[in-house]
Structure 1
């Protein structure tokens, strides 16, 4: 029995007092069919088409001034690992690692710190100029510097919280509706199952959308420091 509603996210699976929950982040490699690696496999061609489209889009967002060739593949890898973990969390009895801030902050914070270090070391003048938007009246410049600094500082937090909150919200809704099942009649139970299936489809879409949003925002933050 759950001690509270949020206990569905507790890391509880252990072996010899060692938590096994975070191993779920590697389960994606285990469930990929072996036929995926056989060219021209349909799985491989579909995934390859997705990666090519993502590469084109991230390359456009990074801009032509980007001196680090192949940096779009960093964000493609980021998209892939988040999407795999989001999808794995929809399966029963699998720990949803992306619903925890310790996972999302681990992804967002090093990215943001590396962007800031690169920008302030290599493009110091550009970073200072970015603190004051073009056309700002001289009277408002000190306030704009404070506002831009705060908005820049909270970026890793907003990235992490957005991903974790979206994962938590959908899982909580599925759990709340699922717990009402034993007390319902057969007619209402049929309606509940249909609702759960619709929510599961919605959560599948959210799993893709949130991984895409995380990767795109990271790409935009990277393009701002060049």
Structure 2
């Protein structure tokens, strides 16, 4: 059974206001590059035995950068590894997920986590040369964590894109409400999904594992839209 995300695709049209598009001041830090994240992921993937592996190109629900993989083994079990640009980003992303207590376990270390069968995630930890005990408890965020307003915008735009792909009638009927929350969001979503690079995404059903992989390609453009919106939004 695949890892299930809690509520990331169910954002209602009126669930956020334009206030969340106003970016708070940030402290400049040196973050790993996408190439760094891909290299770290490649080292962890050595522990996996996949009959089917699907890449995750970015996190489409958070501003943080991410590289990941969805691995299906010969028994049909699914393991996901996700590598983020910071430990906090990894913990924030985990808050959106639910673990199936029957067959899923979690290891989380530094800026990455792996979820899947117990032995597989233990193998990932060994490959990373860290001692981690698999758990089914999502770790809590640090007490001083302050929510990132851009995350809410990214979640909203990605949820709008998911609706466009999965329920075109709802997208059309909610168009005005969506625009009230984030002006130009429907035009942006249509442009992203109708571009030639999104042809495969348009051909996939949302319950296909490949859909999640192709959908993750939208991450950089969704984030760019939200950053531009936060810059231009009135104070």
Asked if these proteins are the same fold (TM beyond 0.5), I'd say: no
More helix by share: 1
TM interval, short-chain normalised: under 0.3
TM-score by length of 2: 0.23
Larger Rg: 1
